[in-house]
């Protein structure tokens, strides 16, 4: 930025830019954002609001997240002036060994069913975040979520579609979600009384009510009855761990991301690689060249994910190396003038997640990304609890020589990541998105729009996106392609094809569902955006 003032640009957008002076919430559902705003108006801080929002998302987006899953947090607390990361992802059960699965004749861990379930870490994350920084009673923060579960809420289009797709093949989804509804028309009321009771127990009695006692026994008995291996002994650990975020700089900004086992480092690695290009000077670099450089940098960073991303307690992800500017300089030299091919960065099996961010009047900011991995996770609902269990165990490989190989007590590599941006030590932006392997690609593009193009958050979110899909031999015949949403100029498409990219034009609103909060450096006003690609909503006051 060379000392120049940072001025936001405000082009016309499909949705209005949400602005406020006192507090802001952006999340994957309007009822969740409303729950967070109510807490802020009642005097809670950004952590309280994030927890209320997170609880509500587990009810209104049960196909994406819940107590049976995991979550990651970034928190900027104004008093300390630092960014902290909370990893609340659960490990593999003690019986989950490579030998166990190979003795069953399996070459891969199933991506659904009881054998796909890892120990859930989300509840431990909620309780630990509240213990450290919450100011309001947990039962109050969960009240809206419990009410929506017990009394029902209006079915959304995406939830209806997910139920319709999976219920015919998975009896537990049919019984828990399809049968209680007259039909799957959006607007029908979905009630989840078992989940309401479980959330109420967690809110009143804390983590031990989930990881010990009657609820833990019912959960594990249900899993084991169907052939799963998560036991009550597996639930006795502590899974929420405060860590130093990974960090880097970009054009005068300091960026923070989730540390491993999150893939967040590749967002920073991509930015390090592209920083040397004049992407912040319109007219100097052609837009097709910008997309080309970003796509090639993405390919290099994803190769590093395959080679290095592992649980730091079991391996060395080499983060210091991968995020050094010297390493970025060396990787940048590998970017060709024409498209390179990539056929070994197999896409993640996960696909459904939800994201939220909150900011309060005192300058505190919180980011939470939470997931049960695939839509409806393992498609296993623990009897009588309303708990949809994750399928995170299938994120491991069964080749012991590779990174991210299965080991008891080990956390699998996660696609979940979000970012925090400071400028001169002050909060500037926070954001994230669901979308599995589209997460880092979307995050990089939104950050480019915010930091290079100076777009206000709603415009930064609505700009058309690309997504690179690597080929996946030998397991499948999925070809490599560069998918672009409608909205890019025709001349850009021609130039990308001329560079050798296998371009496929897709729906205008295809990739990710970003939520962003920015603090305007000139006025201090909080500004938020939410993605029209899904059902996200930002609310401020």
pLDDT over 60 at 387, yes or no: yes
Alpha helices in 424-525 (DSSP H): 438-447, 457-462, 490-498
Element (H, E) at 148: helix 143-151
Please, are residues 354 and 371 in contact by the beta-carbon 8 Å criterion?
Answer: yes
Q: What is the pLDDT of residues 466-480, one digit of tens each?
A: 999 998 655 556 789
Using a pLDDT cut of 90, give the percent of the chain over it.
Answer: 93
What average pLDDT does the chain have?
Answer: 95
* Alpha-carbon distance values, 423 to 470, 492, 518 (Å): 35, 32, 11
- The residue assigned the tokens 């996660």 is 414
Domains and their CATH numbers in the chain: 18-239+355-395 (no CATH), 243-349+417-540 (3.60.20.40)
Instruction: Answer yes or no: is pLDDT of 1 > 50.
Output: no
* CA quadruple 292, 293, 296, 301: dihedral sign: negative
Q: Would the pLDDT of 131 be above 50?
A: yes
CA 171 – CA 217 distance, rounded (Å): 22
Q: What pLDDT is recorded for position 479?
A: 85
Rounded to whole angstroms, the Cα distance separating 301 from 12 reads: 33
Residues 511-533, mean pLDDT to the nearest whole number = 96
What single string gives the DSSP state of each residue in 245-290?
A: PEEEEETTEEEEEPPTTBSTHHHHHHHHHHTTS-TTSBTTB-HHHH
- In which element (H, E) is residue 422 found? strand 418-423
What local confidence, expressed as pLDDT, does residue 174 receive? Answer: 97
Give 112's DSSP letter.
Answer: S
- pLDDT of residue 6 exceeding 80, the answer is yes
* Cα separation, 15 vs 535, whole angstroms: 12
Residue 58 annotated to the active site: no
Q: What is the distance in angstroms between the CA of the first residue and the CA of the last residue of the chain?
A: 31
pLDDT at 341: 85
pLDDT in tens, 229-260: 999 999 998 999 999 999 999 999 999 999 99
Q: DSSP state, 308?
A: H
pLDDT higher at 159 or 342: 159
pLDDT tens-digit profile of 311-325?
A: 999 999 999 999 999
Binned at pLDDT 50, 70 and 90, residue 2 comes out as very low
Q: What pTM was computed for the model?
A: 0.96
pLDDT higher at 349 or 31 = 31
**Catalytic, out of 198, 353, 358, 433:** 353
pLDDT in tens, 504-514: 999 999 999 99
H or E element: which one contains 370? Answer: strand 365-371
On whether the CB atoms of residues 70 and 392 are closer than 8 A, the answer is yes
pLDDT digits (tens, 9 = 90+) for 72-122: 999 999 999 999 999 999 999 999 999 999 999 999 999 999 999 999 999
CA distance 302 to 133: 34
pLDDT band at 201 (very low <50, low <70, confident <90, very high): very high
Q: Under a CB-based contact definition with an 8 Å cutoff, are residues 157 and 426 in contact?
A: no
Distance set, CA 154 to CA 59, 148, 149, 354 (Å): 11, 9, 11, 18
Which among 280, 276, 252, 357 is positioned nearest to 9, based on CA atoms? 280
**Considering only 167-181, 330-344, 433-447, 524-538, which range has the smallest mean pLDDT?**
330-344
């Amino acid at each position: 930025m060379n000392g120049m003032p940072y001025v936001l640009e405000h082009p016309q957008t499909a949705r209005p830019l949400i602005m406020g002076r006192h507090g802001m919430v952006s999340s994957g559902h309007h009822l969740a954002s409303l729950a967070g705003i109510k807490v802020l108006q009642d005097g809670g801080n950004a952590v309280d609001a994030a927890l209320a929002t997170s609880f509500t998302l587990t009810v209104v987006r049960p196909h994406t997240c819940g107590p049976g899953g995991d979550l990651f947090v970034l928190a900027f607390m104004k008093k300390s002036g630092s960014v902290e990361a909370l990893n609340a992802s659960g490990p593999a059960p003690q019986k989950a060994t490579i030998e166990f699965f190979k003795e069953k004749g399996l070459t891969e861990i199933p991506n659904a069913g009881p054998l796909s379930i890892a120990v859930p870490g989300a509840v431990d994350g909620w309780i630990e975040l509240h213990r450290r920084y919450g100011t309001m009673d947990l039962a109050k923060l969960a009240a809206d979520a419990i009410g929506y579960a017990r009394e029902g809420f209006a079915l959304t289009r995406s939830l209806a579609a997910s139920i319709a797709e999976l219920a015919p093949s998975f009896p537990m989804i049919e019984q828990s979600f399809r049968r209680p509804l007259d039909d799957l028309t959006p607007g029908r009321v979905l009630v989840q009384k078992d989940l309401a009771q479980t959330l109420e127990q967690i809110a009143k009695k804390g983590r031990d009510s989930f990881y010990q006692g009657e609820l833990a026994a019912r959960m594990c008995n249900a899993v084991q009855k169907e052939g799963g291996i998560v036991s009550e002994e597996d639930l006795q650990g502590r899974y929420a761990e405060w860590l130093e975020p990974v960090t880097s700089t970009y054009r005068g900004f300091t960026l923070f991301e989730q540390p491993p086992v999150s893939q967040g480092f590749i967002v920073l690695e991509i930015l390090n690689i592209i920083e040397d290009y004049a992407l912040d000077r319109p007219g100097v670099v052609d837009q097709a060249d910008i997309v080309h450089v970003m796509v090639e940098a993405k390919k290099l960073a994803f190769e590093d994910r395959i080679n290095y991303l592992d649980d730091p307690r079991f391996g060395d992800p080499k983060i210091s190396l991968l995020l050094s500017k010297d390493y970025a300089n060396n990787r940048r030299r590998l970017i060709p003038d024409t498209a390179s091919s990539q056929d070994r960065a197999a896409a993640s099996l996960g696909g459904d997640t939800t994201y939220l961010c909150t900011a309060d009047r005192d300058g505190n900011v919180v980011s939470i990304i939470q997931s049960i991995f695939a839509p409806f996770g393992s498609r296993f609902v623990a009897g009588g609890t309303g708990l949809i269990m994750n399928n995170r165990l299938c994120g491991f490989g069964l080749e012991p020589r590779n990174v991210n190989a299965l080991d008891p007590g080990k956390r699998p590599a996660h696609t979940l990541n979000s970012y925090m941006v400071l400028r001169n030590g002050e909060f500037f932006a926070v954001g994230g998105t669901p979308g599995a392997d589209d997460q880092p690609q979307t995050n990089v593009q939104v950050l480019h729009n915010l930091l290079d193009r100076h777009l206000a958050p709603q415009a930064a979110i609505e700009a058309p996106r690309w997504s690179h899909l690597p080929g996946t031999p030998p397991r499948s015949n999925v070809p490599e392609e560069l998918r672009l949403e409608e909205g890019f100029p025709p001349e850009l498409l021609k130039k990308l094809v001329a560079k050798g990219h296998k371009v496929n034009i897709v729906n205008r609103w295809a990739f990710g569902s970003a939520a962003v909060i920015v603090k305007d450096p000139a006025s201090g006003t909080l500004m938020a955006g939410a993605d029209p690609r899904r059902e996200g909503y930002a609310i401020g006051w």
